[in-house]
Amino acid sequence: MLLTHEHNELRRTVTRWVEDEINPHIDEWEAAGIFPAHEVFKSLGDRGLLGVHKPEKFGGMGLDFSFAAVMAEALAAIKAGGVPMAIGAQTDMCTPALAQHGSDALREEFLRPAIAGEYVGCIGVSEPGGGSDVAALKTTARKDGDDYVINGTKLWITNGTQADFCCLLANTGDGPIHQNKSLIIVPMKTKGVEVTKKITKIGMNSSDTAQIFFDDVRVPQRNRIGEENKGFIYQMQQFQYERLWCALNAAAVFQRAIDITVDYTKERKAFGRSLSDNQWIGFKLAEMQTEVEALNALNWKGVEMVVAGQDATKVATMAKLMAGKLSRTLPDGCLQFWGGMGYSDESEISRLYRDARLTAIGGGADEVMLQILTKYMGIFGSNH
Amino acid sequence: MKVLVPVKRVIDYNVKVRVKSDGSGVDLANVKMSMNPFDEIAVEEAIRLKEAGKADEVIVVSIGVKQAQETLRTALAMGADRAILVIAADDVHQDIEPLAVAKILKAVVEAEGPGLVIAGKQAIDNDMNATGQMLSALLGWSQGTFASELDVDGDTAVITREVDGGLQTIKIKMPAIVTADLRLNEPRYASLPNIMKAKKKPLDEKTAADFGVDVTPRLEIVKTTEPAARSAGIKVGSVDELVAKLKEVGAV
């Protein structure tokens, strides 16, 4: 895909924004285990960066997904994975279904402020009993008059402690597991929503992750996105954006890992020469660069399909799988060349190594990607 | 008052420059190009004048290859109102020398009638630091170079200049040419809506021939070489040893 001058300008604007507004604070936010989401999102919203591919009618830019893809890549300049993940959760995880299938009133109430950066959103899919196994979710939304009454628990919720609304996937019927769920927008200040303390993790420290309890939470049925019991399908469509976003961002993070490692190995002297003068190191870095290039090819094939209005689920799944696999080898391979420095908190590579690991788990684990792909290949186990 | 801002497309400041193998210059093929950073500061200053109600229109002009229209679009996204592209070369490696640029700018000034020209003090590619001064001479206008502060007030402008050893404040008569130094301001970066709006702003295309200016180079580049690689340092064990070494090399 040939990128335009405007794509390049978007990349430049996001990069400058990261350098001016984010990176100077990132160490502080990492230490605090949270970043000021409302402040950061407002700053993005003011620059038109939260609604890149959202309808203009609700304050978005109405551009195609290739611009959102460029932004996902450019956010990798942030020197911690938590903040870009939180931004991605807002733009490409908890709002695509709302933008695509939500009623005008619902979009006016939640999408417009999410694009403006006034509202922080989160996506409520995973539960203690299952995350990647979306069909097994236990949370229920029972009809009562004009309302839904919601009961259940959601886990691993990015932005969870700061969010104004949750795009919640809940069971609304008794039918087959793929036809009994709905996506419902739940304002987080509703009575009965209880957010437990932040979950500590091995990485992504600047992003708050919550467990959320829903205890007889009453929201109007008009907060449902689209048709009742179509939630699973909507979520699968929404996952296409989430997975591509993850893969695009991961590829750019891997590129940063390679770039900083090239710089470090040129600088660092051992046994009378630069580390980079060792053929082994050069070969490993060249191999990793090839892997990133291959991932990018897959990513942008997916982007092109989305832009062309085609179903990119298969390619997005492959891209996410490949990003996940690389997240377990590439940052590790880079870190190795940093030696003791790589194991210390003082190096950029150690945080990147910890943060990247989530790529193989979040947004559907690698094994779930494989399961989806076996269905495309017609070799999925017969007991399902 | 109209403000005219010349902008140059140069190799991006982040790119590690490579000298062409024949030594004729720097390799610019497939290299990231951007607006000269000093010109970005000039554009920002012009936009601020407009925002302060001291200017009505900001016109940006670039002289060079056709691709310089991207540089102009960047300026339009920042907030300039319209752009003029003067195509003066086909080959990205052909630099248009300051005198030819100043002559074309003089013609543009005569056609557009700005009350002020704000230029970058120099371009980061060849560091000539000459165009603004030459334009001032050709037009017979006042000049305020290396401005770190600019205050336009009717017929005069007060300019703070960064000179060796301190700051100098001068008052000059308008119309004037001002060249921007690094600390004049911090240029903004465009919001996404402004990036998209810039696509629709007017961009006029001209050629050097339209202004009757001969852009044939007057300078001959004899040789271009990479800077010498930094030689290895040494470790010293104590302050005394450090002082001794510094004396040895004549540094103190």
Amino acid letter, residue A226: G
Q: Which of A166, A191, A35, A34 is closest to A89 using CA atoms? A: A166
pLDDT-based confidence at residue A382 (cuts at 50, 70, 90): low
Rg (CA), chain A: 21
| Arithmetic mean of pLDDT, B233-247 | 89
- Answer whether B196 sits within 8 Å of A6, measured CB to CB: yes
The per-residue pLDDT of chain A, averaged, comes to 95
CATH, residue B54:
3.40.50.620
pLDDT-based confidence at residue A247 (cuts at 50, 70, 90): very high
Out of A269-273, A348-352, A366-370, B171-175, pick the least confident: A269-273
- Answer whether B73 sits within 8 Å of A5, measured CB to CB: yes
Q: How many domains does chain B have?
A: 1
In this structure, are strands B116-120 and B176-180 parallel, antiparallel, or unpaired?
parallel
For residue A381, what pLDDT is reported? 76
- Answer whether A9 sits within 8 Å of B191, measured CB to CB: no
**Angle subtended at Cα A207 by Cα A201 and Cα A212, rounded to the nearest 5 degrees:** 80
Q: What is the signed CA dihedral for A202, A206, A211, A216, rounded to 10 degrees?
A: -170
pLDDT-based confidence at residue A272 (cuts at 50, 70, 90): confident
| Arithmetic mean of pLDDT, A156-184 | 94
Helix (H) or strand (E) holding A252: helix A231-267
pLDDT-based confidence at residue A142 (cuts at 50, 70, 90): very high
Q: Which of A245, A247, A251, A242 is closest to A320 using CA atoms? A: A247
| Arithmetic mean of pLDDT, A66-86 | 97
Number of residues assigned to chain A: 384
Enumerate domains of chain A plus CATH numbers.
5-120 (1.10.540.10), 122-229 (2.40.110.10), 232-376 (1.20.140.10)
Evaluate if residue A279 carries a pLDDT over 70.
Answer: yes
Q: Which of B189, B201, B231 should one mutate to test binding to chain A, selecting the residue with the greatest count of A CBs within 10 A?
A: B189
Q: Report how far apart, in Å, the C-alpha atoms of A258 and of each of A11, A265, A287, A290, A352 are.
A: 19, 10, 10, 11, 11
Q: Report how far apart, in Å, the C-alpha atoms of B85 and of each of A352, A358, B9 are.
A: 44, 48, 11
Amino acid letter, residue A75: L
Could you tell me which residue, B39 or A273, shows the higher pLDDT?
B39
Q: Coil, strand, or helix at residue A347?
A: coil
| Arithmetic mean of pLDDT, A279-290 | 97
| Arithmetic mean of pLDDT, A84-97 | 95
Q: Coil, strand, or helix at residue A168?
A: strand
- A71 Cα distance to chain centroid: 12
Which percentage of chain A shows pLDDT scores above 70? 99
Per-residue model confidence as pLDDT tens digits over A309-345: 999 999 999 999 999 999 999 999 999 999 999 999 8
Chain B contact present for A46, CB below 8 A? yes
For residue B46, what pLDDT is reported? 98
Q: Which of B32, B78, B191 is closest to A17 using CA atoms? A: B191
Residue range(s) defining the domain that contains residue B199: 2-248
Task: Please state, as a whole number, how many other Cβ atoms lie within 10 Å of the Cβ of residue A98.
Answer: 26
| Arithmetic mean of pLDDT, B196-217 | 96
Q: Which of A2, A3, A4, A6 should one mutate to test binding to chain B, selecting the residue with the greatest count of B CBs within 10 A?
A: A6
Contacts 24+ apart (CB under 8 A), A315-319: A316/A239, A316/A240, A316/A243, A316/A244, A316/A247, A317/A243, A317/A369, A317/A372, A317/A373, A318/A369, A318/A373, A319/A243, A319/A244, A319/A247, A319/A248, A319/A295
Evaluate if residue A384 carries a pLDDT over 80.
Answer: no
pLDDT-based confidence at residue B125 (cuts at 50, 70, 90): very high
For residue A289, what pLDDT is reported? 98
- Tell me, letter by letter, the H, E, C secondary structure of A96-107: HHHHHHCCHHHH
Rg (CA), chain B: 21
- Please report the number of interchain residue pairs, chain A to chain B, with beta-carbon separation below 8 angstroms: 36
| Arithmetic mean of pLDDT, B36-61 | 98
Structure tokens at B104: 């074309």
- B146 Cα distance to chain centroid: 11
